Structure 1
Amino acid sequence: MPLMKVITIQLHQFYAQACVRFLSVLSAASNPNFKHIVALAGPPGAGKSTLASQIVHRVNRLWPQKASSFDSQVKPPDVAAVLPMDGFHLYRSQLDAMENPEEAHARRGAPWTFSPTLLLRCLEKLRNEGSVYAPSFDHGVGDPVEDDIFVSSQHKVVIVEGNYLLLEDGAWKDVSSMFDEKWFIDVDIDTAMQRVLKRHISTGKPPDVAKWRIQYNDQPNAELIIESKKNADLVIRSIDF
């Protein structure tokens, strides 16, 4: 079991600390195929996408100041990227083919409605070959979009963000073993579910349907995800929410 470190911090302070450390790691890396792959897990509504995108944006903005080898007239390539787990949702047609399609669609977002095997293959290719095309997820259509995200050999820091990256069941355990660091962003479950409720309503779900989905699917998923917090190297309890 990893030695878990728990910090309580304002998000802007964590952004700064993470960027400084990643820039230090990048500066020390001499292997051209170097990859530092970070898992960022947490329940729905914890702010994973925001945290990942902000850190990647800041690392890419600050890297030219550290990379003295670049000509001042040449824009250096981005060195950090986000790879969301959302692209590894099962297709709706795959849910339709399950024994209980109605239940499968109602529980979409549970771990068994993703493909950890495909995610594992993606991470293995990234680690072994240095680059990979990965799927994104089209929330309007409700299906993955194949080969929509390109993580190149120039991306040295890759933050993989998603709900179930720290689970220890089946293929998820193999996924978890692929990361150099494992982060968990922690938030009070009631706060998280209020955010998810607002998200459902903002996408057009009637309030009663949104509340039913929280109770039937989102909260049970969040409770399972929170149990995986013990597998993190770093737990971020933000006080900036």
Structure 2
Amino acid sequence: MSVAEQMVRDERATTEEALAVFDAAEPVETEFMIGTWRGAELQTGHPMDGMLVASRWWGKQFVDGETVHPLLFPTADGRALWALDPKRLPVSVLLNAPLPSLENRSLGGLVNAARPLLQTKKPKTSSAATQTVRKEHVVIADIADLLAHVARLREGRERIIIGVVGEPGSGKSTVSKALIDRLDAAAVIVPMDGFHLANNELQRLGRADRKGAIDTFDAHGYVNLVQRLRARAESVVYAPDYVRDIEEAIAGAIAIPSDMPVIITEGNYLLARDEPWSGLRELVDELWYLDTPADVRLERLIKRHIRFGKTPEQARRWALGPDETNARFIRGTREAADQTIDVLAFSRSL
């Protein structure tokens, strides 16, 4: 485990350690940083340690090569994000005033109450320095670590939504089920596969021979469902499921009541940068990427295709053809994930 991974896992570091990791990070192109990024706080011994977590700070938004919103917060209803102007914060007062312990405290309500005074629509930070920034991934390899991470995510939140992303055969359903089976709270899995276009529609569109590609899903329908789950405005939301025995989606198969505290939504394209997929970033609390060796994935895929009716030759041809084409696309989105799960090590910890 690298120093950076250890720091993020422990949520603690000295100022010197944090600066050393930053200075050692490889540069990335500015274009990579454009978008909305989920943030996390490291305890460094600063007088304001805990302030970001207590205030429900969400993350940052990189608008273009010159401008950034560094302080994004969720609205009171959790449906959207708003940007706080750091110049309007009484930092000197906060630094010098005797603050009570922020452990287990929530200042989110206070921040939202002061929103009319603090909100800005003008980015307040230059992102010219993003050429020296690299996004560090935490690699989780143990179910106990994952459960502890989810517990931290749930602090101060009535509902969390976690997206699980992986290439075909990476183990998305297996990891998701292992997690909810061990959580100390009610949870439900909402699969993106429920938004497969019907087989007759794929035939009409001429896409049946590459079912599973990004344009063979009802992307807008899926994102709209996640919006409804985030809003919690309905007493129950019904989601579709995908039944492999018939290779079709079934509407209204999964009931998600408004008081469901944990939702795991898993699929291939949750990290895709194109619209409407990119809108998922602001709707979920975190996005996880499953890292599975290619030979393991391929073996799983071939066995799955055979189990559901393909001959061994057909199964291998599909796994190395459409499945692998989709896998290459998905691999290209992994750097935007919040966490990475080492699936083989994770499986051994179960």
* TM bucket, shorter chain: 0.7 to 0.9
Q: Aligned partners of 2:163 and 2:312: how far apart in 1? A: 33
Matched, 1:169 2:312: no
Q: TM-score, normalised by structure 2?
A: 0.57
Are the structure 2 counterparts of residues 126 and 194 from structure 1 closer, same or farther at C-alpha, using a change threshold of 3 Å?
A: same
CA root-mean-square deviation: 1.8
Opposite residue 138 of structure 2, the aligned amino acid is: V
1:231 positional shift: 0.9
1:27 positional shift: 5.3
Partner of 1:6: 138
Q: Aligned partners of 2:194 and 2:293: how far apart in 1? A: 26
Q: Aligned partners of 1:52 and 1:85: how far apart in 2? A: 13
Of 79, 91, 111, the residue aligned with 2:214 is 111
Opposite residue 224 of structure 2, the aligned amino acid is: R
Of 132, 139, 145, the residue aligned with 2:237 is 132
Q: Aligned partners of 2:193 and 2:287: how far apart in 1? A: 18
Matched, 1:47 2:179: no
1:162 positional shift: 0.7
1:158-237 alignment to 2 at 5 Å? 158-237=263-342
Opposite residue 110 of structure 1, the aligned amino acid is: A
Query: Structure 2, unaligned stretches of length 5 or more?
Result: 1-32, 38-134
Percent identity between matched residues is: 31
Are the structure 2 counterparts of residues 4 and 88 from structure 1 closer, same or farther at C-alpha, using a change threshold of 3 Å?
A: farther
Q: SS of the counterpart of 2:147?
A: helix
The alignment covers a number of residue pairs equal to 212
Of 81, 86, 91, the residue aligned with 2:188 is 81
Q: Aligned partners of 1:22 and 1:216: how far apart in 2? A: 36
Are the structure 2 counterparts of residues 81 and 4 from structure 1 closer, same or farther at C-alpha, using a change threshold of 3 Å?
A: farther
Are the structure 2 counterparts of residues 181 and 149 from structure 1 closer, same or farther at C-alpha, using a change threshold of 3 Å?
A: same
Opposite residue 91 of structure 1, the aligned amino acid is: A
C-alpha distance after superposition, 1:82-102 (max 9, x if no partner): 11111010011211221x2xx
Q: Aligned partners of 1:132 and 1:4: how far apart in 2? A: 35
Q: SS of the counterpart of 1:51?
A: helix
Are the structure 2 counterparts of residues 180 and 93 from structure 1 closer, same or farther at C-alpha, using a change threshold of 3 Å?
A: same
Q: SS of the counterpart of 2:229?
A: helix
1:119·1:175 contact (CA, 8 Å) conserved in 2? Answer: no
Partner of 2:46: none
Matched, 1:120 2:223: yes
1:8 positional shift: 5.4
Opposite residue 89 of structure 1, the aligned amino acid is: H
1:133·1:149 contact (CA, 8 Å) conserved in 2? Answer: yes
Instruction: Write 1 or 2 for the structure with the bigger share of helix.
Output: 1
Opposite residue 41 of structure 1, the aligned amino acid is: V
Q: SS of the counterpart of 1:159?
A: strand
Q: Aligned partners of 1:167 and 1:205: how far apart in 2? A: 29
Partner of 2:149: 21
Q: Aligned partners of 2:201 and 2:259: how far apart in 1? A: 34
Matched, 1:95 2:202: yes
1:25 positional shift: 4.3
Q: Aligned partners of 1:214 and 1:27: how far apart in 2? A: 41
Q: Which has the larger radius of gyration?
A: 2
C-alpha distance after superposition, 1:178-198 (max 9, x if no partner): 211010011122321121011
2:140·2:146 contact (CA, 8 Å) conserved in 1? Answer: no
2:244·2:308 contact (CA, 8 Å) conserved in 1? Answer: no
Opposite residue 36 of structure 1, the aligned amino acid is: I
Please say which of residues 123-132 and 36-45 is displaced more in the overlay. Answer: 123-132
Q: TM-score, normalised by structure 1?
A: 0.81
Please say which of residues 40-49 and 169-178 is displaced more in the overlay. Answer: 169-178
Q: Aligned partners of 2:328 and 2:258: how far apart in 1? A: 36
1:4·1:232 contact (CA, 8 Å) conserved in 2? Answer: no
Q: Aligned partners of 1:209 and 1:112: how far apart in 2? A: 22
